[in-house]
Amino acid sequence: MAKLPKSGIREVNDLQGASLYPLNVSKLDTLRGIVYNSLTFMDTMTRMTILIVDDDENMAAMMHVCLQRGGFHVLEADSGADALRLVEQHSPQLVIADMVMPDVNGYELLRKIRLHGSTSVFLMVIGARSLHREVFNLGEGMDDYIRKPFSEKQLLARVKALLRHAGESTHLIKRGPLTLDKIDRQVACDGNTLKLSRLEFQLLSAFMERPRHIFTREELFKAVWKKDYEGNSRALDTAVATLHRKLTKRDYLIVTVRGVGYKLDV
């Protein structure tokens, strides 16, 4: 894949809630750039993985940005062979596949994925006039289908509903008074929703995945920034302090262990 540009981020703001059709080829590089920047700052550890299988690069890019904006970790494949390899390597929670591709159609890909033992939720993208096997295949391992054209809101709503319906138990983490939803990327404390930044959300996710574990700064850097600790803990300490304040009456939940790091005491 070519090097992804980092410019033109503002231009995509008009896409939210709009139809993904007609595809604007001139904005493809802009969309790719946004995806690149999003991946730089978002932690894949706390996000669900979705695999897009589509040989139409423009359509794949549009869906990629839509799902990225929704908080998901997104992979792409442009062939059945690549899709099977990524399913085996990454075990995505959900696969979105176009019905018509050069090397394999969506139904055949679905069959091969199931033969590999994958239990990934499967969402088929079908043409506006296509009707011919959808209902049958809903009983043959396909979980749902979405018809072109569809909007960003429609795609995200369908994806979130499918993941919940599939009983994806790992999307909710409950620790004491805290509840974290990985799909909607929301956190509640004592039933009250907390407004957290992306960094604060990912820090709290790491804490809630391993309650009472004392995290060193090195561990938190790897969990949130996906890189080694570089000796400057100011950004990390500031984020933890802000998260601590946002827990209001429950601020005792995050404990500083002097000389070591932090833990969630719940």
H or E stretch covering 232 = none
CA 79 – CA 105 distance, rounded (Å): 10
pLDDT of residue 202: 86
| 89-147 pLDDT, tens digit each | 988 989 999 988 888 888 889 888 888 778 789 999 988 666 555 544 554 567 888 98
User: Domains plus CATH for the chain?
Assistant: 9-167 (3.40.50.2300), 170-264 (1.10.10.10)
pLDDT of residue 81: 92
Across 60-84, average pLDDT: 93
| 32-59 pLDDT, tens digit each | 554 444 444 344 435 789 999 999 999 9
Is 162 strand, coil or helix?
A: helix
Q: What is the mean pLDDT of the chain?
A: 77
| 95-111 pLDDT, tens digit each | 999 988 888 888 889 88
pLDDT of residue 67: 94
- Enter the pTM of the model: 0.56
* Strands ordered across the beta sheet of 121-126: 73-77, 49-53, 94-98, 121-126, 144-147
DSSP state string for 149-217? S-BHHHHHHHHHHHHHHTT-GGGEEEETTEEEETTTTEEEETTEEE---HHHHHHHHHHHHSTT--EEH
Per DSSP bridges, beta strands 192-194 and 215-216 are unpaired
CA 50 – CA 153 distance, rounded (Å): 16
